[in-house]
Structure 1
Amino acid sequence: MAKPAMKNLSTYVTYEDFLAFEKAAKEFEERAPLKRSRKGNYPLLIRLLFFTGARIAEIVGTPRRILTQCLSPGNNKRKGRCQKWCIERSDRVCIDSNCEHFRIYIQKYHHGIRVKDISFRDRLIAVYGKSVKSDELKARTVIIDQTTLDLIKEHIEKYSLKPDDKILNINENGAKTFLPKIRDKLNLPWVSAHKFRHGHAIYCIQKGMDIRTLQLQLGHEDLATTAIYLQFAVDDRIKVYDKVFNAKPTDAKIQCPGCGFSFKVKKNKEIDFEDRMNGIFKY
């Protein structure tokens, strides 16, 4: 079932927004002192966010951490709606230690995109899901455009990256710190990493991608979640609508100036047989 939060798509990153972010990221690298990050990481991050639709944690990786959920009916897994959630607002604490709805699980560490996760021949990148609860990581594949793939190849050659090395030497916190700096400069305070994911999906839909292919690209388990983006396929909807309501008739009526009888003339200019018979028996 589609998540209620996904239904609010009033703001998303457009292709023009992406171009502005990519340009700003390049300018940021030119003037900002880089510490651990390699030059070229930030523009590549922006491109990967928009052209793959992957989550930011799938691109740069995420550390091992303990997460909690409140599965009480009506809370939608949000602990803030649970009356038993600890007043200190600690993610690891619940007032009722025996609550049947409170869950604690460990999110496994995963590495983000590595060199060996990219198939340059097939233009595929293996990414890993955000809530990995199993001991063994399971990957899904996303398609990438050739321009971004060429930039990745140059990046690998420039820094002599090995197969097990990460493409981007940025962690999740570093990436989330970088984005606010760029969006403040561009005066786009509503932009977040997930808005790039929405932008990717909407751009694909508007350019004619079918819903099943988009589902595989985004990694949605439920097709209904992906189907939310169909509302943005305006051009296709207009074409179908016009086909239904603006269909041209297959025949036209012509009135005989002599007898005043109306005949239906088809596209092949033949008079309809029924009208012929009516005309015969009328006189």
Structure 2
Amino acid sequence: MVSEAIKNLSAYVTYEDFLKLEQAAKDYENSAVLKRARKGEYSLFIRLLFFTGARIAEIVGTPKRIFTQCLFYNKRKGRCPKWSAIRDDKVCTDSKCPHFMTYVQKEHHGIRVKDIVFKDRLIAVYGKSVKSIELKPRTVIIDLDTLNLVHEHIKKYSLKPNDKIINLNENGAKLYIEKLREKVGLSWVTAHKFRHGHAIYCIQHGMDLRTLQQQLGHEDLGTTAIYLQFAVEDRKKAYDKVFGAKPDHVKIQCPKCGLTFRLKKNKEIDLEDRIKAVLPP
């Protein structure tokens, strides 16, 4: 079932937005005093968000977390009458309830040097809902320009196979995005808006749905299919095949020679008709 969050695609990071954010990240690196982060790390982080479509936790990692889930009524917690609001969250008042489930999400380490296969342009990332003891990776494709920047970054800082590419934690990365969006005046930007932007950019440039599903790591193809609404040009072509596009010309007949010409919207006669009028049949 498609989540409510993914249905809200009114704002997403476009390629033009990405260019602004990337430039702002570079400017920030040149002006700010960087302590834990390495030089060139923030702009590389922005590129990885847009060009991989990976979640923020998949790129920088996340600590071990304990999650609770209610299986009462379509797995949506809060619908069960035993859930009550405490502060800003809802908790189950019956720990022995058969519908109540608790699981521990294993700590993610983020993208490491050894997770990158340079010859194939593949990066292994680790999904957000890891309920098993062993982390199960998926692979994403990366563009050559970003891959070259990653290679330069590794070489510049002499990173070892187990070292993280981006030396930020999840909270630090989110705080940085907040600073960045203030600089460029895009207050709605979040890490997940990059993921939406990546998916929509891929759809608009002809990527098939199955490939995009693998890139985003969606278990349900229906979740990926939500982005098809943005494939406007493909939809227009398919629509016009059924109903036919309106012609971009009108036909007129010359009163002197009797020949029929196609007059375009800019009031120019079609080139083929001009040639036919000059050359004998």
Q: TM-score range by the shorter chain?
A: 0.7 to 0.9
Task: Give ranges in structure 1 of 5+ residues lacking alignment.
Answer: 249-283
The corresponding residue for 1:148 is 146
Conserved 8 A contact 2:82-2:94: yes
Change (3 A) 1:181 1:83: farther
How far off its partner does 1:100 sit?
Answer: 2.3
In structure 2, what residue type is equivalent to 1:66? I
- Cα separation, 1, equivalents of 2:80 and 2:196: 29
1:197 maps to which residue? 195
1:22 aligns with 22
- For residues 31 and 129 of structure 1, the distance between their equivalents in structure 2, rounded to whole angstroms, comes to 34
Counterpart in the other structure of 2:39? 39
- Alignment CA distance shift 1:247-1:196 (3 Å): closer
Q: Is the 8 A contact 2:18 2:50 kept in 1?
A: yes
1:130 aligns with one of 128, 131, 137: 128
Q: Does the 8 A contact of 2:83 with 2:90 survive in 1?
A: no
Question: After the TM superposition, which of the residue ranges 86-95 and 228-237 deviates more from structure 2?
Answer: 86-95
Q: Which moved more, 1:49-58 or 1:20-29?
A: 20-29
Q: How far did residue 94 of structure 1 move?
A: 2.7
- Structure of larger gyration radius: 1
Normalized against structure 2, the TM-score is what?
0.83
Partner of 2:76: 77
Secondary structure of the 2:92 match is coil
Bigger Cα displacement from structure 2, 31-40 vs 167-176: 31-40
* Conservation of the 8 A alpha-carbon contact between 2:64 and 2:105: yes
Aligned positions of 1:99-248 closer than 5 A:
99-246=97-244
Once residues 70 and 175 of structure 2 are traced to their aligned partners in structure 1, the CA distance between those partners, rounded to angstroms, is 28
Question: For residue 42 of structure 2, what is the amino acid of its counterpart?
Answer: Y
The Cα offsets for residues 90-131 of structure 1, whole Å up to 9 and x where unpaired, read as 869532222222221111012100001001100000000001
SS at match of 1:68: strand
Q: Name the TM-score, length of structure 1 as normaliser.
A: 0.82
- Is the contact between residue 85 and residue 91 of structure 2 (CA under 8 Å) also seen in structure 1? no
Which residue in the other structure is 1:5 paired with? 5
Q: Give 2:37's aligned amino acid.
A: S
Identity %: 72
1:167 and 1:118 map into 2 onto residues whose CA distance is 10
- Give the match for residue 260 of structure 1: none
Contact 2:14 2:197 (8 Å CA) reproduced: yes
Question: Cα distance 1:222–1:87, how it changes in 2: closer, same or farther (>3 A)?
Answer: closer
Cα drift, residue 16 of structure 1: 0.4
Equivalent position SS for 2:128: coil
Deviation at 1:237, TM superposition (A): 0.7
Q: Which residue of 2 aligns with 1:261?
A: none
More moved, 91-100 vs 41-50: 91-100
> What is the distance in 1 between the residues matched to 2:49 and 2:19?
12
Contact 2:73 2:80 in 1 (8 A): no
Pairwise CA distance, 1:155 = 0.1
Deviation at 1:86, TM superposition (A): 4.8
Counterpart secondary structure, 2:119:
coil
Cα distance per residue 1:131-175 (max 9 Å; x no partner): 111111111000000000000000000000011110010010110
Equivalent residue, structure 1, for 2:250: none
The number of aligned residues is: 246
| Alpha-carbon separation, structure 2, partners of 1:210 and 1:152 | 27
Equivalent residue letter for 2:76: K
- 1:207-233 CA-to-partner distances (Å, cap 9, x unmatched) read 000001100100111111101101100
